[in-house]
Amino acid sequence: MNAFFAMTGRSTGFHPLPPPPVPTFDVSWLNGGLLAGAGDSLTRGVGSTFNANGYLPQIKVVLASLGCTVDIYNGGVDSATTGGINANATANIDPLYDPMRPCVYLYEGGGNDIYFGGDAAVASSITGNWTGLDDRVSGWRKILIVSPDRGIDPTIGPPVETPAGQDRTEYRTSLTAMRSGLVSGYATHAEAIVMLQDNPLLVCTDFSVCNNDEVHWRDNGYGYWAAASPIIPGAVTNVLAVLGSMTA
C-alpha cells in the first residue's frame, strides 16, 4: 500500500489473506514430567548439530516456551533394530518411571529391521514395535512415532542397495507396508500416534531439511518432528500436536 492510500485509508484493491491461526495446546498436564524417547539414530538426532539437537531437545524448548518444564531422556541408539531398542528401554528407560509425575514414553523404530532384513522383515518390524511398547512397566503414557520416508544410506550399505539387497524403491515400498501396519494396529499398544509420514514438510530428498544420506534430518527437520508443521485441523503430524491432544 503506498503512502497516499495509507494516509487516506483507501484500499488499493489488494486484500491479503490473514495468516492462519496458530494452534494453541494445553500441555499443563505435563509440567514437571519426563519425556523418554526410545529408538534408533533418528531418535538420537543423528544429522543435527553435534548429533545432539534431535526432536527430544527441541520439544523440550518448545514446551518451555509454553510454560511447561520437562526432563528428557534420549534412548536413541545408532543402527538399532526393534530388538535392541526394546532391550535398551528395559535397561535404561523403565527404571526412570516415576509414578509421582507424568511420564511419557515415545517409541520409534523398525526402519533398520527392514534395512538389514529386507521385505521379509516387515512383519517382524511391526511386531517389534508392539513389543517395544508392550514391555514397558505399568504407568507410562505411550506414544508411537511413525517415522517419515527415508532413503538408502551409502555410508552403511552398498551405494545402490541396502545390505538386504533392496534398491531404493523396494526399500521404500517395504517401509510403506510397515507404516500401514503400525497405523492400523497401534491403538491396542499405545495411547497416541505421531504420523510424521503425513507431514508434507518432511521430505527425505529435500536437502534443506534432510541430510544427503536421505535418512537423517537436519536441525530444522527434527524441528518438524517436534513441533513445526502446516496447520491441518485434527492432524497429529508432530509430537507437540499429540501431547496437546492428551490430558492428565
What span, in angstroms and rounded, lies between the C-alpha atoms of 182 and 8? 59
207-217: pLDDT as tens digits:
999 998 899 99
pLDDT at 234: 63
Which has the closest alpha carbon to 225: 204, 202, 248, 243? 202
Residue 6: is its pLDDT beyond 60?
no
Residue 164's alpha-carbon distances to 92, 157, 223, in angstroms, are: 30, 9, 31
Average pLDDT over the chain, rounded to an integer: 89
Confidence of residue 161 (pLDDT cuts 50, 70, 90): confident
Contact criterion met (CB below 8 Å) for 230 and 241: no
Question: What is the reported pLDDT for 155?
Answer: 65
CA distances from 86 to 60, 142, 162 (A): 23, 14, 23
Statement: residue 86 has pLDDT above 80: yes
Query: What tens digit of pLDDT does each residue of 124-160 get?
Result: 999 999 999 999 999 999 999 999 999 887 666 566 7
CATH architecture of the domain covering 29-245: 3-Layer(aba) Sandwich (3.40)
Q: How many other C-beta atoms are found inside a 10 Å radius of the C-beta of residue 104?
A: 22
pLDDT tens-digit map of 163-191: 999 988 899 999 999 999 999 999 999 99
pLDDT tens sequence across 45-62 = 999 999 999 999 999 999
Single-letter amino acid, residue 128 = G
Give which of 238, 223, 129 is closest to 182, Cα–Cα: 129
Q: Do 92 and 21 contact (CB within 8 A), yes or no?
A: no
pLDDT at site 14: 47
Strands 192-195 and 141-146: parallel
| Domain boundaries, given as residue ranges, for the chain | 29-245
The answer on pLDDT for 7 being more than 70 is no
Instruction: Look at residue 89 and tell me whether its pLDDT is greater than 60.
Output: yes
Could you tell me the pLDDT band of residue 11, with boundaries at 50, 70 and 90? Answer: very low
In 17-149, DSSP assigns E strands to 33-39, 70-76, 103-107, 141-146
